[in-house]
Structure 1
Amino acid sequence: MVRGKIQMKRIENATSRQVTFSKRRNGLLKKAFELSVLCDAEVALIIFSQRGRLSEFSSSNMQKTIERYRENAKEEQANNPEIQLSMQQLKHETSNMAKKIELLEVSQRRLLGQGLESCSVDELHEVDSQLQHSLRNIRARKAELFKEKIEQLKEKERLLLEENAKLCEKCGSKPPAKEKEIVTSSRQSIQSSEVETELFIGLPEMRCL
């Protein structure tokens, strides 16, 4: 019976995936052993399972083989112009990034009022300008939040008034007046109930009517 071609993708079934891993791991370890014996090669194999379990094989000493690999990798990098150029670019970018971070830290300390003794007049003007700009942004954001909150409260008031009117309609009672109408009527009642309280000193007949 000819085996079908296995599609190279992750096995979704956990049980099948574990069985396949065990079989292929054993086969890989066997091939590594055969390669070291048949070809007199120094072979080191390290495998970590999905759960983190370690499986390894070494024809001699694993640690010595790893150190030998590191030495060869360093020599290859040193003899490769492209790798050297890439390393120089990385060092340059790292240096520039460190300088930018240092400048940002200095600017942050100045904005917090620290380390201003060594600042010149122009630098102090710049710090003041930054603070004023930040303050304007904060106030604008604060006003925006207040506006949004007021709109939310107005919408909530409208919904409560509608709900109250529906409840009054179900109960058969007259809906209460709106807040503005209540305030207006209260002001009118206060004005109509005003009495003369002017203080007068003297005889009654001398008072001007």
Structure 2
Amino acid sequence: MGRGRVELKRIENKINRQVTFSKRRNGLLKKAYELSVLCDAEVALIIFSSRGKLYEFGSAGTPKTLERYQRCCFTPQDNSIERETQSWYQEVTKLKVKYESLQRTQRHLLGEDLGPLSVKELQNLEKQLEVALAQARQRKTQIMIEQMEDLRKKERQLGDLNKQLKIKLETEGQTYNAIESLWNSNAVAGTSNFSVHSSQTNTMECPPEPVLQIGYHQYISGEGSSTPKGMQGGETNFMQGWVL
């Protein structure tokens, strides 16, 4: 008795659905393998279960087959992007080669990695170094000349400033000397007038200074006068007075 046709719809029973998935998955993988072997075809098979689990088969490797698939299915826009990418890749390659060449030249100029160079290459390198040295010396001389010119310019400016300060100082000195001479003449004239006035005032107005005398005044007896008893004879010179 033959097997009936199965209706294609989602199996509602979870266990039956999982069993059916496992059987048909294995059969599909087996058919893909047989097709690749029997017909020498490049087959890639990718299966994701309802739980997200991955099952795959690739006769030449799944990534390689997918890359080939993308190349075959590119649109014109994708082709332009690919051409631009290839152009950028070639440009990067050229820049990389140029960078390596410049690094090698730099090492040669520094005296490194000179072993692989031939005699002609060494002579060219020597000429390059001589030209570079001459240019460096020329630039050095030019800079030194410019610095000397700047220093001379500053020297002239400082000399002019020094002259101006000297002239200003001489002018102020002459003014100061004139003021000092005028002040000295006025001071001398005032001093002489004050001296004459003081001398005249002392001569005309000041009275004679008093004299302090302590003791008895000298007694001189005259005719018809009587001499005190204690002042007669030898006692006339006793205590005649003290004069300061």
Please tell me the TM-score bracket, short chain as reference: 0.3 to 0.5
Question: What is the TM-score of this pair, normalised by structure 1?
Answer: 0.36
Larger Rg: 2
Question: What is the TM-score of this pair, normalised by structure 2?
Answer: 0.31
